Amino acid sequence: MSSWYITKTDSNNYLLDLSLWTNPSWPSKKLLECLKNKNLVEIINDASNYSPEVFEKTIKEILINALKIKWIDYTSVEFNANGSYQLWDEMIRMLKQMGMDEVLIPNYSFPNVSQRCQRHWIKYSPIEWKNITPRDSLLWIQNIKDLHKKIVYIDYPHNPTWSFDEKLTLETMDYVSKNWWIVILDIAYGEVLPNISETIQTCIDTGGIVLWSLSKTQWLPDLRAWWWLISPNMVEWHYHGDERMVFNLSSLSRLVYEILFKEWEDWSIIALEHAKSSAQYNSKVNKQLYEILYKNWLEVLETSLFTPIQTITSPSWWLYEKMIKAWINVENLNEWQVTLSEWQKEQWYKNNAVRMRTPKEEELELLESIVKKI
């Protein structure tokens, strides 16, 4: 089990914290400007009562309209105020009720999915394949013949390198749908990718589930404000009426969602604008980052310049230890062994691969000086 996703590392102990608990930019300046004009007393007063269902309904409709998703209504949207852990727990519970009994996990996917499967007695199955790239995982799925009661998890962009293959992802969702499986499409960082609304629409049209949050591209992880979109035919399997109160957002989270996703007078949507500017920022800084790494004999695995995460490898089997000893906080792929089949555990990257976030521009000079010493 990945301890990294359970225990947060104290960033104060490092010269440079490039862990995924930190971010390379900030929340939208427009969002922060809007919040300056809000009365915090009113927000706290709102929190003194349970929120009416109509509040949640309004925010859900704003989300659907912002993403231009067709053929669903607000009942297909569910929030979760306790982050990905509880959202996953509820989703696996619902799928178990629907008769699903196995989750197929591409290599190096989100490791804590295994915990949720154990809680609800669903089989957790890392993909058995000779290669361990994200593309190979998706190709392997399309070769499976025993399709009964299976769930397929796809992270988009794909772990651990944050590459993405739009065409192959759409083909895989179509294949899964035609064989009566269910796809879970996790787009926690997907806002920075092109055509993301079309990808979401395809997942919904093929009977799947889409996961999203404010934690990543919008850089608001402490709000714990995750949400899903589910196909209309799944709604009846979810909680109803007063039971759903546990999934309601806090007053502050609801306000943030409204500001980010509503259409303003100039037709802009702040969340989508911020995702676009984040992609541009990541692309600019990643080019400088890669130059630093290549000059020092480090390799960046296949990825997208748009994304804020890179997987770095080295001929040295001790890259992770060397970076930690140099006071750079990164994530060790050794933590992800639960997502590999038994055969693959002999082929994996072990301690010679780490994941790091895109540095801030002002961190590049310090990073270069430390990497040279490594």
Q: Residue 135's pLDDT is what?
A: 77
Range of the domain at 179: 49-261
Q: Which three-class secondary structure state does DSSP give residue 271?
A: helix
Q: Which of 249, 188, 245, 191 is nearest to 215 (CA)?
A: 188
Of 63, 31, 37, nearest in space to 261 by CA: 63
Residues 131 and 151 in one domain: yes
Of 213, 239, 261, the one marking the end of a domain is: 261
DSSP 183: E
Q: What's the total number of domains in the chain?
A: 2
Q: What is the pLDDT of residues 47-83, one digit of tens each?
A: 777 777 777 889 999 999 999 999 999 989 988 888 7
Q: Classify residue 183: in a domain, yes or no.
A: yes
Mean pLDDT of the chain: 85
Whether 333 and 243 map to the same domain: the answer is no
Mean pLDDT calculated for residue range 316-333: 86
Identify the pLDDT of residue 304.
Answer: 87
Inter-residue contact 169 to 156 (CB < 8 Å): yes
What pLDDT does residue 83 have? 79
Within a domain: residue 108? yes
> 122: domain CATH number?
3.40.640.10
Considering the domain architecture, whether residues 75 and 21 belong to the same structural domain is answered as no
- Are 349 and 250 found together in one domain? no
pLDDT at 108 over 80: no
Please check whether residues 234 and 313 belong to one and the same domain.
Answer: no
What is the per-residue pLDDT for 28? Answer: 94
pLDDT at 179: 83
- For residue 134, is the peptide bond before it cis, meaning its omega torsion is within 30 degrees of 0? no
7 contacts: CB under 8 Å, gap ≥ 6: none
pLDDT confidence tier of residue 189, bands split at 50, 70 and 90: confident
Same domain, residue pair 223 and 148:
yes
In a domain, 222, yes or no: yes
- C-alpha distances (whole Å) from 182 to each of 67, 85, 234, 354 are 22, 20, 11, 31
Question: Of 106-120, 203-217, 298-312, which gets the smallest average pLDDT?
Answer: 106-120
42 in a structural domain: no
Q: Which of 232, 261, 290 is the last residue of a domain?
A: 261
Q: Which amino acid is at 119?
A: R
The string of pLDDT tens digits covering residues 3-38 is 444 334 455 567 899 988 777 778 999 999 999 888
- Residue pair 207/231 in contact (Cβ under 8 Å)? The answer is yes
The confidence score (pLDDT) of residue 245 equals 63
> 176 with 81, same domain?
yes
Phi, psi of 331, rounded to the nearest 5 degrees: -105, 135
CB proximity list for 13: less than 8 A, separation 6 or greater: 327, 329
Q: How far apart are CA 173 and CA 176, in angstroms?
A: 5
Same domain, 111 and 210: yes
Alpha carbon of 68 to those of 195, 204, 272, 348: distances in Å? 11, 12, 12, 40
More confident residue, 336 or 124: 124
Do 24 and 286 meet the contact criterion of CB atoms below 8 Å apart? no
Q: Could you tell me if 361 and 296 lie in one domain?
A: yes
Query: What distance in Å separates the CA atoms of residue 336 and residue 3, rounded to the nearest whole number?
Result: 9
pLDDT at position 84 is 79
Walk across the sheet containing 209-213 and list its strands: 77-80, 226-230, 209-213, 182-186, 150-155, 102-105, 123-126
Please write the tens of the pLDDT for every residue from 235-285.
888 776 666 666 778 888 999 999 999 999 899 999 999 999 999 999 999
Q: What are phi and psi of 65, to 5 degrees?
A: -65, -40
Domain presence at residue 37: no
The DSSP line for 304-346 is -TTSSEEEEE-SSTTHHHHHHHTTEE-EEGGGGGGGS-TTGGG
**Which pLDDT score is estimated for 242?**
62
The answer to whether residue 1 sits within a structural domain is no
Give residue 1's pLDDT.
Answer: 39
First-residue to last-residue Cα distance in the chain: 29
Locate the DSSP E strands across the chain.
Answer: 16-17, 77-80, 102-105, 123-126, 150-155, 182-186, 209-213, 226-230, 299-300, 309-313, 328-329, 331-332, 353-357
279-321 confidence digits (pLDDT tens): 999 999 999 999 999 998 898 988 889 999 888 988 777 888 8
Phi, psi torsion values for 264, nearest 5 degrees: -85, 175
One domain, residues 140 and 289: no
Give the confidence band of 361 by pLDDT, cuts at 50, 70, 90.
very high
Q: 40 in a domain, yes or no?
A: no
If asked whether residues 226 and 280 sit together in one domain, one would say: no
Peptide bond into 232 cis (omega under 30): no
How confident is the model at residue 198, as a pLDDT?
Answer: 93
Query: d(Cα 229, Cα 61) in Å, to the nearest integer?
Result: 12
Instruction: Reply yes or no on whether the pLDDT at 40 is more than 70.
Output: yes
CA torsion angle for 132, 135, 138, 142 (degrees, to 10)?
Answer: -110
Residue keyed to tokens 């062994």: 337
What pLDDT score does 2 carry? 41
236, 261, 286 - which closes a domain: 261
pLDDT at site 335:
76
Residues 6 or more apart whose CB falls under 8 angstroms from that of 176 comprise 141, 152, 182, 183, 206, 208
Q: Are residues 292 and 224 in the same domain?
A: no
Residue 3 lies in a domain: no
Q: What is the mean pLDDT of residues 343-360?
A: 79
